[in-house]
A and B are shown apart, each in its own frame.
Chain A
Amino acid sequence: GDSVTQMEGPVTLSEEAFLTINCTYTATGYPSLFWYVQYPGEGLQLLLKATKADDKGSNKGFEATYRKETTSFHLEKGSVQVSDSAVYFCALTGGYGGATNKLIFGTGTLLAVQP
C-alpha cells in the first residue's frame, strides 16, 4: 500500500543553520504531497503542499519540491529560528485514486533549534 518514509529525529540545529528533512514516498497513481507541522501543545497545521510533479510548495521560508523521478518531497529552509522548533510530518493523499482523501503520514521528525 501507499506509504511515507521520513528521516528519524531528533534533528538539532543552531539558529540560522540550513535545514533539510528527507521524505520519500511509495504510491500508486498521482498523489498530492504535504508537510504538516505540530508546534508544542498545538494541533497539526498545514505548512505547504504540492499537487503534481515538479511543483514547489513554499511557506514561512520553508520549501519542498515534488520529485516524481526520485519519489521524494524533502523539506528545506535556509535559516532556521528557535520558533521553528516543532515536529514535522510528511504526508500524501490521493495516490490510490479512490474516493477517500485520507492522509497517509510519516512518523514525524522532531526539530530542535538552539539559540
Chain B
Amino acid sequence: EAGVAQSPRYKIIEKRQSVAFWCNPISGHATLYWYQQILGQGPKLLIQFQNNGVVDDSQLPKDRFSAERLKGVDSTLKIQPAKLEDSAVYLCASSPLGTKADTQYFGPGTRLTVL
C-alpha cells in the first residue's frame, strides 16, 4: 500500500513570496490533515478535511494560509505572502473513517525555509 505522498520535499523562498505544497493521501482515506512542525516543537494542526469539507481550521492563519481539497482526494496548502516565522516542516497525514479513524499516517513532509 502506498503511503502519503508530499511534494516538494524542500523549498527555499524569500519573505513575501508565495509557496504551495501538495499532498496525496493513502487511497481510500477520507480524512486529510495538514500540520506545521517548527524546529524543536511538536506538530500543530493547521487544517483537517473530511472528504472535501473542512472539519477544523481554527489554527490556520487565514490572512496568509489557504488550503483546498476540491475532489476529496489530494490537497494543496498555500502560503501567500510568506513570513520568516513560517519556516517549518509541513506535514500531511491521512486517516480512514470508522474504527481506525484515530490512527493517522504521515507523509515525509516539506521543509520550508523563508529567508
Point out residues on A near B: beta carbons under 8 Å: 4, 32, 36, 42-46, 49, 51, 89, 91, 93-94, 98-103, 105-108
Contacts and interface: CB of A to CB of B under 8 A. Distances in A.
Interface in B60-115: 91, 93, 95, 101-109
A102 B48 contact: yes
Nearest to B44: A105
B13 to A, nearest CB: 22
Given A42-B108, A100-B56, A101-B31, 14 more contacts: A36-B106, A43-B107, A43-B108, A98-B56, A99-B55, A99-B56, A100-B45, A101-B48, A101-B102, A101-B104, A102-B56, A103-B43, A107-B40, A108-B40
Most buried by B among A91, A102, A108: A102
Contacts of A42: 108
Q: Which secondary structure characterizes the binding site on chain A?
A: loop
Taking residues whose C-beta sits less than 8 angstroms from the other chain, chain B's interface range is 20 to 34
A106 B42 contact: yes
Contacts of B55: 99-100
B106 to A, nearest CB: 4
A43 B106 contact: yes
A107 B41 contact: yes
Interface in B22-54: 31, 33, 35, 40-45, 48
B29 to A, nearest CB: 12
Contact of A105 (B33, B43, B102, B109): B43
B58 to A, nearest CB: 9
